[in-house]
Amino acid sequence: MPGVAPEGISAPTREMRKAAEDRFHHQPIVEKYPGHYAGMPISPTRAQGSEEAYQSSLRNPKETGPYTPFTSKMDWEIAKWAKLRGSGSTAFTDLLNIDGVRESLNLSYGTSVQLNKIIDEKLPGRPKFTRSEVVVNGEVFHLYSRDILECVRALWGDTDFAPYLFVVPEKHYIDKGKKIRMYHNMHTGKWWWSTQEAVEHDNPGATIIPIIISSDKTQLTVFGNKTAYPVYMTIGNIPKEIRRKPSRRAYVLLGYLPTSRMKNIKNKSARRRILANVFHACMAHILAPLKDAGITGIPMTSGDGVTRRGHPIYATFVGDYPEQALVTAVKTGECPTCEAPRDMLGEDSDFPLRDLEAILTALESLDEGPTIYARACEEAGIKPVYHPFWEGLPYTNIFQAIGPDILHQLYQGVVKHLISWLKECCGEAEIDARCRRLPPNHNIRLFMSGISNLSRVTGKEHDQISRFLLSLVIDVQLPDGHSSSKLVAAVRGLLDFVYLAQYPMHTSETLDHLDNALQRFHDNKSIFVELGIRNDLNLPKLHFCRHYIMYIKLFGTTDNYNTEYTERLHIDLAKDAYRSTNFKDEFPQMTLWLERKEKIYRHDKYIQWQLDGCPAPPVIADLPPGIVYERTLKMTKHPSLKSVRLSKLTTDHGATFFRDALARFVVHLNHPELSRTQVEARSQDLSFPFNTVPVFHRIKFMTEDPYTARGPEDTVVDSIHVQPAKTLKNGTELAARFDTAIVNDGTGKITGVAGYRVAQVRVVFSLNARHIATLFSPGIVPPKHLAYVEWFSPFTEPEPDHLMYKVNRSLKDGDRLSSIIPVANIRRSVHLLPKFGPVAPAEWKSTNVLDRCRYFYVNSMSDRHIYTTLF
């Protein structure tokens, strides 16, 4: 029978969401790990900080000032440019060989070789790479790797990280009764606390250092098959807000694994088995030092000179599904975490986690012969890999160390599948037609050719599509008379899960909402079977969504272990490194290039420390975790156009009632005691002593980042375009764009819709000082920036299936209601989704849909900020 209505549980009401998410603003009640020893220094005296130690390692550090071993600022700046921004080594040498260049710049080096010698011999850096030979199945493989303990020391001892390091686990609560737990950074998860208890039982005074490992094979060339297999490492003691930024260099490249494809082995199963053994043998070699260090601990000095007994322990793995299956040695198509059968991956059921003890017991049968070993591994549920690298790692359960992967599991997995299903059930032509008719917005990418013909779609593009995906199926005409309600409910549930899974902080209540979202999808997923699109939904990536809550409780929120961050590292630490080589025997050249680059970064930081007067690391109070709701309005210092005639505002901006609206604004500001009717009457007699105003074409919104190395920085996170049509110098015509925004009437809170209303911004302008003196009473100063807006209807209740608010133009006698408001009242941009009906009207276009469409849905998924504030 055709689906008629959504089934199963309902979504949390907006009151429930607001009650749960308003708790994010409360200062958490922190319960630190009990006892006086955990995380405490092991020495009463401070050792040298990282900058002092670096200075001591330089030769004659005071001989030529802060730039040593370079002779001057110019000498250093040219070297820095050559290694970080410059052209190839040969081109740089040719430049220095031009008559007079070296002498004019007074450089201490005349060739690239001489510069490299200074860097190699006189600058300290992170640990060096070494080449090791790993023998598997009688074949020798070359592994380029670093000492992992020295890499841990390098991160732990970095001055930039010293003020922020987490040294003990904590439990965060948001209620006095300590019933509602909060999770964000890794130290707030249950894994760290339980591991601390286990280590403290045998070795009191430990400081746990959670090791986060990521591996992923990447293509080095656009054409051909040259690949690299980098392994990255970071530590959970560094806040996730710092770890996720490549510029902070909180990840270390541990090594390059062998990339042999073993084409000489014709049997594919045998080839895969040997490649898996090579991977585990290499990883075992790299991680071997963790076995003893994790149990007994090693002295670790942080950047501020405090020495603790650190226990580096393998905590979690970051990788896509093929890497997860390889690491855990499970068969492709199975869950790397639990024992769910393949034919039940799509079920709404929980299954027991894989039994580590039983698997370790099976691995002990290796000496009994390959047949018995293979049978034991088969019964335990893993492949017969010889000595998996995690076999002897202390306090490590690899089947609970496979973290969620937002990029590959959700965007490149779940969302990718969802898009393909929707194209099939709604028709590619209709989906593409709707994509072409969406209005523009700062946070929305417009796919003007549709999405059905996209090839090699990236995770970022799936993210961009998911922001408007729900609107493509509302009211759509489905085959065989099926109602779209059930489809809409399934899509909304899955998208809610995707957005909630990315929250940078969670509480027990919001985790219930995450579970609710997944349950809503499962309650309505049968629509895809009813429409004949799928026979089942036994997909490993979809199944893994059931484990997200467990992992958030164990290791903190998903931005602690997202592959999106390590994917970005491929560019800096693999692809750029490869381009610096002569493409022959490239890995020794790549590792040397990286070592030199790291030394330049390190020396640059040391020089800045010297120039700043050698300050001690700052003492910083715990920074609040979570979602940044606050935004700062940013207007350009000068207007886009200094003088625009009021008549042009009517014709070019569509500000039909600009004069009337400005008159009402002036009268109301002068006489706030007047009623609306009285204001309207007095404004009829007001005339303006000017015919032009300065106009601005953009409103920007910034957000502050408290974790930047040299103080808070602002980042543009949103903007509103208020620009009439224009023709570029090359003859290209740009259509007019007047974005929609959410306006606060003065009573709006930080979340929710109460006190807010949607408006289209037509003009942003200011008044000259002499005109202000003429129009306003003494002592009354109007806002510096004003906006002429056209109103949409107030918020009512969201629609039940898709949970979005429906709005339409506010009219009076057929004319659009308009006002002049302070720009400061505008909270942010908002994207409106047209109500298409069964078929998108052919006359609608992206440039005119805001004028031609009658009803709109307020898009609460255009970005993560609006998802957490508009509900």
Query: Reduced to 3 DSSP states, what percent helix, strand and coil does the chain have, rounded to the nearest 5?
Result: 40, 20, 40
pLDDT digits (tens, 9 = 90+) for 207-229: 999 999 999 999 888 777 789 99
| H/E element, 699 | strand 698-705
In this prediction, residue 5 carries a pLDDT of: 63
- Please state, in angstroms and as integers, the Cα–Cα distance from residue 571 to each residue in 242, 574, 804, following that order: 19, 6, 39
Predicted TM-score (pTM) of this structure = 0.94
In this prediction, residue 709 carries a pLDDT of: 57
SS3 state of residue 213: strand
| H/E element, 134 | strand 130-136
| H/E element, 644 | strand 641-645
In this prediction, residue 35 carries a pLDDT of: 80
Least Cα distance to 425 among 387, 359, 478, 371 occurs for 478
Rounded to whole angstroms, how far apart are CA atoms 188 and 466? Answer: 30
Amino acid at 859: N
In this prediction, residue 2 carries a pLDDT of: 46
Least Cα distance to 517 among 502, 535, 538, 532 occurs for 502
- How far is residue 341 CA from its own chain's centroid? 32
Q: Calculate the dihedral angle through the C-alpha atoms of 840, 845, 851, 852, rounding to the nearest 10 degrees.
A: -30
Cis status of the peptide bond prior to 69, with omega within 30 of 0 = yes
Within the chain, which residues score under 50 in pLDDT?
1-3
Rounded to whole angstroms, how far apart are CA atoms 415 and 413? Answer: 6
Answer yes or no: are the C-beta atoms of 738 and 722 closer than 8 Å. Answer: yes
Least Cα distance to 410 among 323, 327, 497, 350 occurs for 497
Q: Calculate the dihedral angle through the C-alpha atoms of 185, 190, 191, 196, rounding to the nearest 10 degrees.
A: 100
Answer yes or no: are the C-beta atoms of 445 and 436 closer than 8 Å. Answer: no
In this prediction, residue 303 carries a pLDDT of: 93
Least Cα distance to 867 among 468, 570, 440 occurs for 468
Residue 464 neighbours by CB under 8 Å, 6+ apart: 444, 445
Mean pLDDT of all residues belonging to the chain: 92
pLDDT digits (tens, 9 = 90+) for 74-91: 999 999 999 998 778 899
In this prediction, residue 3 carries a pLDDT of: 46
In this prediction, residue 4 carries a pLDDT of: 55
In this prediction, residue 374 carries a pLDDT of: 93
Rounded to whole angstroms, how far apart are CA atoms 247 and 571? Answer: 13
Domain boundaries, the chain: 14-29+406-555, 59-122, 130-329+385-403+561-611, 632-869
